[in-house]
Amino acid sequence: MHDSRTVELPSKWADVDVRGLLAGSALAVGAGTPTDAGVSWLLPTQVERPIVMGGGIPDPATLPVQELQEALTRALESSPEETLRYGGVLGYEGLREALAERYSRLDGVKLTLDNFIIGNGSAGAIGNVCDAFLEPGDVVIVESPTFSGSIRTIRGHMAEVVSVAMDQDGVRLDLVAREIEKAGTAGKRVKFLYTVADFHNPTGTTMSLDRRKGLLELCAEHGVLLVEDAAYAEIYYEDEPPPSLYGLAAGQGILKVGTFSKPIATGLRVGWVQAREDFVAALSQVKFDMGSSPILLRALSDFVGSGKLDSHLEMMRPIYAAKCDALCQGLEDHCADMVSFVKPKGGFFLWLDCIGASATDVTRSAAELGLTFAPGALFYLNGKEDDTSHVRLALSTSDAELLREVGPRLRAAFERLPAAG
């Protein structure tokens, strides 16, 4: 029987391949992986209580549920009309003022609300930067490895992405200089360099002060913008990292991206770009989403302005420090001959180099024993062509007791591999 709610159309659409309709940007990025979107990498496992180390998500026990609920209620009660209408592309002034006060203090640079634009998490903020500053064919330099989601965002703007290796002090300046020279010789422009300078995702590396100064000088000399992803900068275990690139440069030539996802909760989806006023004005010109949720921004303004963010971070830091200690000690006790790593001083990640075994094999064997994590190849431009030995362990969600079991389970995973026999 014909359904009167539908219209009979020629069957032409049934044979159409969607790829023939897609924009070049959609074709450029491909399908992606869960890791690109911050979702835990999870292979099938039959173990009843798996240790899931696939995504950098705050410990559920640290979520300030009551404080946020109270802040949301206050926002609704104090100004319901403003709270429940469009908020504008720049974002709620009260939150931008709170951010300006906070980062004037932390970065040592005088900031006002006009130095901030709010977006949909740091991912949305980076997308906003790409919308404003990238043209097809521009060159963008990224660290190798780096967060795969940011690579996809940049590629989705039809830029040419080139990667530069890191060492224990951060991105290598000699290789950055070489890529800038290569681009110039080819008649191309390096528009910006993207870096996670503090507690890097995925390696956990923190860029040294000397390397930061050298990078600033090199990029300034060649007119290359720096996009500083500071998602993990305040999640240090004991000592603060070196001054931000933004602070060292007094905000010149830097777009600093921040977020509440890692310090508070990923579900908030509130981030921002901190930049010179004219840069922020340019970012606002290409933002067409009518702004972020005013009720959330007002609640976060309350949370930040009242000092609750500072006290929340002070509570979180020793928790993650204990997690890292438990994880690293277990690996040292049980896997010293199978993996090598440098213990991070903050952030959510431990970067392991598998000795004598492929990362793919280790990842699958570990999953069968109830230990899941992301293979390192996901964080390189060319995947397995660039890296076959590393894996990334996210330490943030499991408790310290469970993290002590990682070493024994990982050893068992290695011993199940033919190469270990």
Average pLDDT over residues 105-121: 97
- Say what the pLDDT of residue 418 is: 83
- Say what the pLDDT of residue 114 is: 98
pLDDT in tens, 270-326: 999 999 999 999 999 999 998 899 999 999 999 999 999 999 999 999 999 999 999
Element at 194 (helix H, strand E): strand 190-195
Residue 17: what are its φ and ψ, rounded to 5°? -85, 120
Map residue 116 onto helix, strand or coil: strand
CA within 13 Å, CB half, 236: 14
Cβ-based neighbours of 355, under 8 Å, separated by 6 or more:
337, 338, 339, 340, 389
- Say what the pLDDT of residue 419 is: 55
The structure's pTM equals 0.92
Please work out, in degrees rounded to the nearest 5, the angle formed at the alpha carbon of residue 112 by the alpha carbons of 109 and 116: 95
Range with lowest mean pLDDT among 14-23, 89-98, 326-335: 14-23
Closest CA to 393 of 362, 419, 358: 362
As beta bridge partners, residue 350 has: 393
Higher pLDDT pick, 46 / 142: 142
- Say what the pLDDT of residue 79 is: 86
Average pLDDT over residues 137-164: 96
Element at 326 (helix H, strand E): helix 308-335
State how far the Cα of 395 lies from the Cα of 347, in Å rounded to an integer: 9
Q: Which residues of 299-311 are buried (b: 16+ CB within 10 A; e: fewer)?
A: bbbbbbbeebbee
Higher pLDDT pick, 356 / 384: 356
pLDDT in tens, 331-343: 999 999 999 999 9
Residue 116: what are its φ and ψ, rounded to 5°? -135, 140
As a whole number, the mean pLDDT across the chain is: 93
Closest CA to 214 of 181, 178, 173: 173
What is the number of other CB atoms lying within 10 angstroms of the CB of residue 178? Answer: 13
Closest CA to 392 of 33, 77, 9, 3: 33
- Say what the pLDDT of residue 8 is: 72
- Say what the pLDDT of residue 383 is: 85
Q: Which residues of 179-191 are buried (b: 16+ CB within 10 A; e: fewer)?
A: bbeebeeeeeebb
Domain 67-306 maps to which CATH number in 3.40.1260.10, 3.40.640.10, 1.10.3720.10, 3.40.710.10?
A: 3.40.640.10
Average pLDDT over residues 172-178: 98
Q: Give 36's pLDDT tier (boundaries 50, 70, 90).
A: low
Matching fold, domains 31-57+311-420 and 67-306:
no
> Looking at residue 267, what DSSP letter applies?
G
Average pLDDT over residues 205-218: 98
Q: At residue 81, does pLDDT exceed 50?
A: yes
Q: Which fold has domain 31-57+311-420?
A: Aspartate Aminotransferase, domain 1 (3.90.1150)
Alpha carbon dihedral 308, 71, 276, 87, in 10-degree steps, equals 180
Please work out, in degrees rounded to the nearest 5, the angle formed at the alpha carbon of residue 327 by the alpha carbons of 323 and 332: 145
State how far the Cα of 213 lies from the Cα of 243, in Å rounded to an integer: 10
Average pLDDT over residues 158-180: 97
- Say what the pLDDT of residue 421 is: 42
Domain boundaries in the chain? 31-57+311-420, 67-306
**Chain centroid to CA 24:** 25
Q: Give 420's pLDDT tier (boundaries 50, 70, 90).
A: very low
- Say what the pLDDT of residue 167 is: 97
| Contact indicator for 252, 91 with CB cutoff of 8 Å | no
Distances (CA, A) of 418 to 47, 245, 336: 22, 46, 19
> And the tokens for 158?
């039809």
Higher pLDDT pick, 27 / 154: 154
- Say what the pLDDT of residue 21 is: 81
